Amino acid sequence: MNSFSLRLPLGAAAIAGSLLLYASRPTAPRLAPDPDNAGLKLPAGFGALKVAETGGKARHLVVMPNGLIYVKLNSAKDGKGIVVLKPGADGRATVAGGFGSYGGTGIATQGGYLYASSDVAVYRYKLDGQDQVTNQSQPELVVHGLKKENEHESKSIALDPTGNLYVNVGAYSNACQEKDRERGSKGMPNCPILDSAGGIWQFKTDRLGQREQDGTRYATGLRNVVGLDWNKQDNKLFVMQHGRDQLHDNWPALYGDKESALLPAECLYELSAGANAGWPYVYYDQQKKQLMQGPEYGGDGKTPAKGNYLKPAAAYPGHMAPNGLLFYTGSMFPAKYRNGAFIAFHGSWNRAPEPQAGYFVVFQPFKDGQPSGQWEVFADNFAGSAAKAASGRADHRPCGLAQGPDGSLYVSDDSKGTIYRIMYNAK
């Protein structure tokens, strides 16, 4: 889509030159990355530019077929919780207003609607032929009354191709202890939080005014999910769980602080209706490659999980906070990236006193709808330096991921509000 606006102004005199330049990829516009690739470290052949500064805590985002970008802010800025970015010819974009007075995380689009979430509700806006929201102040209320307490309150959303909406309702607890995060406090039997949180709820996109209890608890035993995406190859919902914190703080006799910095894994799950990933009773140890019994429920760091719970499809080191998940379906990037997963790791806090980690975008290869092969860091140095990452005082923190119409990968930063665009530039 961008190619038209770029190519039309090209005069006849430039055609000879551009034919030479673009000979191998005649349809791909060549956008110049920032000289420093927006401060990011990328694999060879990739470049990046800063699309825009939103000035807010930019959580998730979508890029429309015409290049228009909608960004969901964690809290409304100047009364606007969704920022509209209008694309320019240079690959960047300018802030062109906003709407929605509520803060939140989730945003998604399908079937002529834009869906966005607050921490208690999901709204939708009708889009016109230019992907513009016409009724900015009068969205339809799709879901309301979602459970919200003081932890894991963000409600990320995903859509499937058959009219279902998936909403994360995070557990308002670390490990369902009788006293949340208190040293030595036992887990509550038959964790009561799971009735209304700690899972993914499924709703109908075309039914308005649904309450949480009108939806289906699609999957349970998930402590908190921020990054989730529908995989069209596998026809399944995949989610990234934020694993539990503070194994050492709360159980110092059972876990050292080095162990506690790495454990438990941050897990990618492939969900089917009725799945149970086992929070708070179990956690996944990526070193033992085993589900383990949680210390709040009789575990000691060595006892395998009791009970039959969903195993992760892939696992990553602890506490890196996966906030964005995107299956890449574009053709701009080399073939190995097609249908694989990008994961935005927001960066840790719960590794202290060990160095913090994350603040990067990972690529997880997939084959036939399943993880296949070792993950790798794809885009690094959002933090600004290794020292800033280690201390947790990162300049930027990747959160949301989106694919542009040309196959560019967009990344939002919820620390300073920068929007990045990563492109493949090699021939």
Partner 1 sequence: MRGFRYIALAGLLATGIYSLPAQQAPVKLPGTVRPKPHPTPSSPLAASMARGQRVYKNVCLTCHQADGGGVPNMNPPLIKTDYVLGDKKRLVGIVLRGLKGPNEIEGETYTQNMPAQAYLTDLNIADVLTYVRNSFGNKASAVTPAEVHALRDAPAAGQ
Q: How do 216-220 and 199-204 pair as beta strands?
A: antiparallel
What DSSP state is assigned to residue 163? S
Q: How many residues bind partner 1 (CB under 8 A)?
A: 26
- Check binding of 385 to partner 1 (CB under 8 A): no
Q: Is 257 helix (H, G, I), strand (E, B) or coil?
A: helix
Contacts 24+ apart (CB under 8 A), 71-74: 71/107, 71/400, 71/412, 71/419, 72/104, 72/105, 72/106, 72/107, 72/116, 72/117, 72/400, 73/103, 73/104, 73/417, 74/103, 74/104, 74/105, 74/154, 74/414
Positions in 184-213 near partner 1 (CB under 8 A)? 184
Nearest Cα residue to 168 out of 221, 207, 132:
221
Cα–Cα distance for residue pair 398/130, rounded to 1 Å: 28
- Check binding of 214 to partner 1 (CB under 8 A): no
CB contact set of 294 (below 8 Å; sequence gap of 6+) = 175, 187, 244, 280, 281, 282, 283
- Check binding of 412 to partner 1 (CB under 8 A): no
Q: Quick one: which of 79, 253, 335, 374 contacts partner 1 (CB under 8 A)?
A: 253
Q: Which CB atom, from 103 or from 215, has the smaller least distance to partner 1?
A: 103
For partner 1, which stretch binds (CB under 8 A), given 193-201, 241-249, 280-288, 358-366? 241-249
- Check binding of 246 to partner 1 (CB under 8 A): yes
Q: Which CB atom, from 159 or from 261, has the smaller least distance to partner 1?
A: 261
Q: Which CB atom, from 80 or from 148, has the smaller least distance to partner 1?
A: 148
- Check binding of 391 to partner 1 (CB under 8 A): yes
- Check binding of 249 to partner 1 (CB under 8 A): yes
- Check binding of 289 to partner 1 (CB under 8 A): no
CB atoms within 10 A of CB 373: 12
Q: Which CB atom, from 80 or from 397, has the smaller least distance to partner 1?
A: 397
Residue 370 CB, nearest distance to partner 1 (Å)? 34
Positions in 326-365 near partner 1 (CB under 8 A)? 349-350, 352-353
Residue 288 CB, nearest distance to partner 1 (Å)? 23
Tokens 């990054």 — which residue? 227
For partner 1, which stretch binds (CB under 8 A), given 28-36, 193-201, 243-251, 290-298? 243-251
CA atoms lying within 13 Å on the CB side of residue 379:
30
CB contact set of 387 (below 8 Å; sequence gap of 6+) = none
- Cα angle value 415/418/419 (rounded, 5°): 130
- Check binding of 78 to partner 1 (CB under 8 A): no
Q: Quick one: which of 150, 162, 190, 308 contacts partner 1 (CB under 8 A)?
A: 150
- Check binding of 181 to partner 1 (CB under 8 A): yes
Burial of 256 (0-12, 13-18, 19+ CB in 10 A): exposed
Residue 405 CB, nearest distance to partner 1 (Å)? 32
Contact positions vs partner 1 (CB under 8 A)? 57, 74-75, 150-151, 153, 179-184, 245-246, 248-249, 252-253, 349-350, 352-353, 391-393, 415
